[in-house]
Structure 1
Amino acid sequence: MPDDRSRLALHLDLIRWNRPAGWLLLLWPTLSALWIAADGFPGWHLLVVFVCGTILMRSAGCCVNDVADRDFDRHVKRTASRPVTSGAVSVRAALALGALLALLAFGLVLTTTPAAILLSFAALAITLLYPYAKRVVSMPQAVLGVAFSFGIPMAFAAVLGGSAWSLEAIDAAVPPHAWGLLLGNLFWVLAYDTAYAMVDRDDDLKIGMKTSAITLGRFDVAVVMACHALHLLLWAVLGRLLGLGTIYLLAVGVAALLAAWFYTLIRQRTREGCFKAFRLNHWLGAVLFAGVALDLLIR
């Protein structure tokens, strides 16, 4: 029976506490949307809600994912020692922790607007759907792309939403350019999560898991780079249409240089290079957020 200290360490490992890349990839586009929606600093309340909510929901998603994949993960080198797969944390305990974290995140959303609250149910449904999409969808990274981009419309809804509880209220609070930013971000998720899937391709082929890396085959690197290009192009165009200027465009340029560096990491398709590209991709999102925030600050 593990003591309290080792039990805490196991649960922290379950939610990837020492591997922040996952929640940072989710956080940066959400914060960019929050700043754009608010036309600058959105206030401490919304900043705390979205930072803490992002970390909580990413952690809850890890619990659900590890329970759903527990029988597959044991056959993959990188995931065989995960707490649920190894039996160190029970399925019941993992689901209980995931539910608690999701409830805490929902409590934060309740302090915002009805439109954001309604959207949070859709976000939760997509989060729960993703682990099972890998069984039936040839490009499950697209499902993850929607899940990891849903903070964008939620940010707009939290800033611009009124007091009405209706689909019309969501439509009024989330303008078309918010959905355009979501689409662009979906391409970014496809890029970095395909690189991530390339790490496990050999193992996934053996166990019958569906991933974009397997579906794309020899076109994997080309599609990753095309997705990076589409992401940056869409965000550059939308940023200009929204009045963002030189600083933002410089940030897009720096992000493009980062994407070019990631190409050098994945072009040989080595496990180490592909995993490094995934692990460092959050810096691309951080650069775009810095460009948004600084550009709005000097207006």
Structure 2
Amino acid sequence: MGPVVTPPSPITPDAVKSWIDLLPAGAQAYARLARFDRPAGSWLLFWPCIAGLALAGGLQQQPWLIAWFGLGSLAMRGAGCVWNDIVDRDLDAQVARTRDRPVASGRISVKAALAFAAALALVGLAVLLQLRGLAQVVALASLIPVAAYPFMKRITWWPQAWLGLTFNWGLAVGWTAVAPFDSPEMWLLWAGGIAWTLGYDTIYALQDIEDDALAGIKSSARALGPRARAGVSVFYALALILWAAALWLSSGQALAVLALVPLAAHLGWQVVKLADMRPANALLLFRSNRLAGALWAAACAAVGLA
């Protein structure tokens, strides 16, 4: 008798139970390819949009953009994930957590995945058309760093920094939807967002640190090694300092930085809990950044609405 071959699982280990489990198998594969079963990434794309919109005063001027940014975050995060899986299909096949992804496992062909990405991009186009011209240009410019992101883990130890650039691009889109592009507050918010992403995606990368080493995949988690927890604390502290500067500059009042206290407490909790770097705990802490993003956007709203 030959060796027993285990067929690929339709569900990756970090998926969560949802309505997707009720879909037919074929539809499930596409939903999982777009990470609809793992909504944390969509939230992490959404909250920077709202933070930028809120601090720029957009909640008063164009509150309906919140819904459009929600749809755009879902669609464009999905399109980005599809592109990432197409580029990374060979690497994904070498990592336990990702080898059962639809493209890496062969359940969806590269051609079909590209067509699906194009369909998701059309949804993003519908959102783009709701924005004024300046914000449209800013949003379109994001396509270049998004397309380049999957290659970063091959050429730099810090692909998380590039991810921070792309995942917080929506902040500039939200800001320029209602305000000028040259506002220093926007740049401070964006820089803080990049530092925040460096922190939470380093936590995420801890799940794969052993498999990444075997496959030759670079990450901040591997670069930091046993200093990963210290690195995350530095990234989070830098994010808070930059965001505090943005709120202070925007309001003209030092007390505005108190709006960040709940967020600071939450990020501090993450650092404390990161004493346990096992994959399950790393995933839990990564997902908790949905709340961190909400607290960041709430702080910006509190100052922007004042």
**TM-score of the superposed pair, with normalisation by structure 1:** 0.89
- Alpha-carbon displacement from aligned partner over 1:234-284 (angstroms, at most 9, x marks no partner): 111210211186996444111111112211332232111111111111211
Distance change in 2, residues 1:194/1:220 (3 Å): same
Q: How many angstroms apart in 1 are the aligned matches of 2:272 and 2:39?
A: 23
Offset of 1:184 from its aligned partner?
0.7
Q: Give the superposed CA RMSD.
A: 1.9
- Alpha-carbon displacement from aligned partner over 1:115-148 (angstroms, at most 9, x marks no partner): 1122122211111110111111120111101001
User: Residue 291 of structure 1 corresponds to which residue in structure 2?
Assistant: 299
User: Residue 139 of structure 2 corresponds to which residue in structure 1?
Assistant: 120
Q: How many angstroms apart in 2 are the aligned matches of 1:183 and 1:292?
A: 15
Amino acid across the alignment from 1:228: Y
Distance change in 2, residues 1:244/1:100 (3 Å): farther
User: Residue 5 of structure 2 corresponds to which residue in structure 1?
Assistant: none
* Structure with the largest fraction of helix: 1
Contact 1:245 1:295 (C-alpha < 8 Å) held by counterparts? no
Contact 1:248 1:288 (C-alpha < 8 Å) held by counterparts? no
User: Residue 47 of structure 1 corresponds to which residue in structure 2?
Assistant: 66
Matching of residue 177 in structure 1 with residue 196 in structure 2: no
User: Residue 282 of structure 1 corresponds to which residue in structure 2?
Assistant: 290
Matches within 5 A, 1:7-156: 7-38=26-57, 40-156=59-175
Contact 2:248 2:254 (C-alpha < 8 Å) held by counterparts? no
User: Residue 164 of structure 1 corresponds to which residue in structure 2?
Assistant: none
Q: How many angstroms apart in 2 are the aligned matches of 1:247 and 1:136?
A: 43
Q: How many angstroms apart in 1 are the aligned matches of 2:222 and 2:202?
A: 9
Q: How many angstroms apart in 2 are the aligned matches of 1:95 and 1:247?
A: 49
**TM-score of the superposed pair, with normalisation by structure 2:** 0.87
User: Residue 166 of structure 1 corresponds to which residue in structure 2?
Assistant: none
The percent identity for this pair of structures is 36
User: Residue 218 of structure 1 corresponds to which residue in structure 2?
Assistant: 226
Offset of 1:211 from its aligned partner?
0.7
Matching of residue 189 in structure 1 with residue 208 in structure 2: no
Structure 2 residue matching 1:200: 3-state secondary structure: helix
Q: Which has the higher contact order (CA 8 A, sep 6+)?
A: 2
User: Residue 163 of structure 1 corresponds to which residue in structure 2?
Assistant: none
Contact 1:181 1:234 (C-alpha < 8 Å) held by counterparts? yes
Q: How many angstroms apart in 1 are the aligned matches of 2:239 and 2:124?
A: 28
Offset of 1:173 from its aligned partner?
3.3
Amino acid across the alignment from 1:200: D
Q: How many angstroms apart in 1 are the aligned matches of 2:265 and 2:41?
A: 21
User: Residue 238 of structure 1 corresponds to which residue in structure 2?
Assistant: 246
- Alpha-carbon displacement from aligned partner over 1:41-100 (angstroms, at most 9, x marks no partner): 342442232221111110101101111111111221211211111111111111111122
Q: How many angstroms apart in 2 are the aligned matches of 1:273 and 1:231?
A: 22
Q: How many angstroms apart in 1 are the aligned matches of 2:176 and 2:259?
A: 26
Q: How many angstroms apart in 2 are the aligned matches of 1:270 and 1:118?
A: 42
Q: Which runs of 5+ in 2 are unaligned?
A: 1-22
Distance change in 2, residues 1:249/1:194 (3 Å): same
Contact 1:248 1:292 (C-alpha < 8 Å) held by counterparts? no
Q: How many angstroms apart in 2 are the aligned matches of 1:282 and 1:245?
A: 28
Contact 1:180 1:238 (C-alpha < 8 Å) held by counterparts? yes
Amino acid across the alignment from 2:300: V
User: Residue 6 of structure 2 corresponds to which residue in structure 1?
Assistant: none
Q: How many angstroms apart in 2 are the aligned matches of 1:156 and 1:276?
A: 30
User: Residue 267 of structure 2 corresponds to which residue in structure 1?
Assistant: 259
Distance change in 2, residues 1:42/1:21 (3 Å): farther
How many pairs were matched up?
A: 284
Distance change in 2, residues 1:176/1:59 (3 Å): same
